[in-house]
Structure 1
Amino acid sequence: MIPVQPAPRVDRAAADASTTAWALAARGGDPEAAEHFVRALYGDVLRYVTHVSGDPQGAHDLAQDTFARAFGSLHRYEGRASARTWLLSIARRAVVDSLRRAAARPRIAEAVDWEAAVERTQPRGLPGFEEGIALLDLLEVLSDERREAFLLTQVVGLSYEETAGFVGCPVGTVRSRVFRGRTILERLLREAETEGTFAA
């Protein structure tokens, strides 16, 4: 797994206007607009599902499922919300459905030591691999609400206002969740660095 990098800070309003226009044009049957729509938002969707699902290996499948669902319901999209916010809400449902399916049909490993087997299949030697795993581990410490607010604002790149609309709570609540989440992560990182110093 190559760690997903934070979304670059761009003119978000202009980018959202473009992607929304492409989505509406794709709804009208424009294949070039559909391609632009996917290319513009695939990274945001991938970042979101990677962290929310906690499954980097299955993230691309979840992203593809998200776009398949989006194109299946594109005829109902009217552009009242930005295409990015609309698509992330579909991604959230895709992740929830995936987790429910996994819980209902647990996979049985043929290997005697399935944990060791899974560990052996993980990629190694990739730039930033260990840091990416560490970030996933740290994010698991946060409550669901704080983790989602942190991911949407700090990783996906939504504004606090967009995030508030997406999760359905006041902007102040989003700011509080992100602040508290960041405070917890910073404390854990300081503790890890201190332990590492003592171990050295």
Structure 2
Amino acid sequence: MITPALPVPPDDSTTAWALAARGGDTEAVERFVRALHRDVRRYVTSLGADPQSADDLTQDTFLRALSALHRFEGRSSARTWLLAIARRAVIDSFRYAATRPRLSDIDDWQSVAEHAQPEGLPGFDDGVALADLLAGLSTERREAFVLTQVLGLSYAEVAVLSNCPVGTVRSRVARARACLIAWLHEAEHPVPADTAV
């Protein structure tokens, strides 16, 4: 049984598309997926998914969302709802991976993976540096920072996703910013070895 949807704010077209897709509009399904595909992929990557599994997790997220679309009532934005599904997909993949042995027939798999990465692309080094800096943050701070500062979600939406108060989200973002700024400053102004205590 499909329950009636709540009114959709006029500026939230993705929610409108999700509700239309729920009603069977195939064009709305396509628009919904296209509008949020990049955000979902960036989010699952920020949660620690490697580039290959990020594509699979993004696809898994949309498959889960489309199969559960009949339950979406528009109480939150479709973006928030979809990112919550993405979060569960990543957690499920980590749980599944933890129960499976990791096999590799290459002794030095890390150097092989590093040499396989593309180089010379515009912004590639900056992206690697940002990924390294973000990886140094705690999971909670990284998630809050990426959702608010990279994906542009409101603090209230992130609080719903993270199941914590808005103040906690604000604190996590502020602390993540402070850490990132300090780390960038250290990288740009290294302390000489002879003056270090």
**TM > 0.5:** yes
Offset, 1:106: 3.2
Aligned to 1:37: 32
Query: Gapped runs of 5+ residues in structure 2?
Result: 1-8
Alpha-carbon separation, structure 1, partners of 2:68 and 2:41 = 19
Residue among 149, 153, 158 paired with 2:148: 153
Q: Which amino acid aligns with 1:79?
A: G
Q: CA RMSD in A?
A: 1.8
| Structure 1 residues 9-34: Cα deviation after superposition (integer angstroms, max 9, x where no partner) | xxxx654x211111111111110010
Matched, 1:101 2:96: yes
Alpha-carbon separation, structure 1, partners of 2:64 and 2:89 = 8
Q: Which structure is higher in helix share?
A: 1
Q: Which amino acid aligns with 2:39?
A: D
Query: Gapped runs of 5+ residues in structure 1?
Result: 1-12
How do 1:7-86 and structure 2 match up within 5 A?
Answer: 14-15=10-11, 17-86=12-81
How do 1:179-190 and structure 2 match up within 5 A?
Answer: 179-190=174-185
| Structure 1 residues 95-134: Cα deviation after superposition (integer angstroms, max 9, x where no partner) | 1111122222233111121112212221222111121121
Aligned to 1:121: 116
Larger radius of gyration: 2
Q: Which moved more, 1:156-165 or 1:81-90?
A: 156-165
Alpha-carbon separation, structure 2, partners of 1:171 and 1:14 = 24
Q: Which amino acid aligns with 2:102?
A: R
- Number of residue equivalences: 185
Alpha-carbon separation, structure 1, partners of 2:170 and 2:20 = 34
Residue among 141, 159, 164 paired with 1:164: 159
Query: Are 2:49 and 2:90, in contact at CA under 8 Å, matched by a contact in 1?
Result: no
TM-score (norm 1): 0.86
Aligned to 1:143: 138
**Kindly, what percent of the aligned residue pairs are identical?**
64
Q: Which amino acid aligns with 1:143?
A: S
| Structure 1 residues 10-61: Cα deviation after superposition (integer angstroms, max 9, x where no partner) | xxx654x211111111111110010111111112111111111242332222
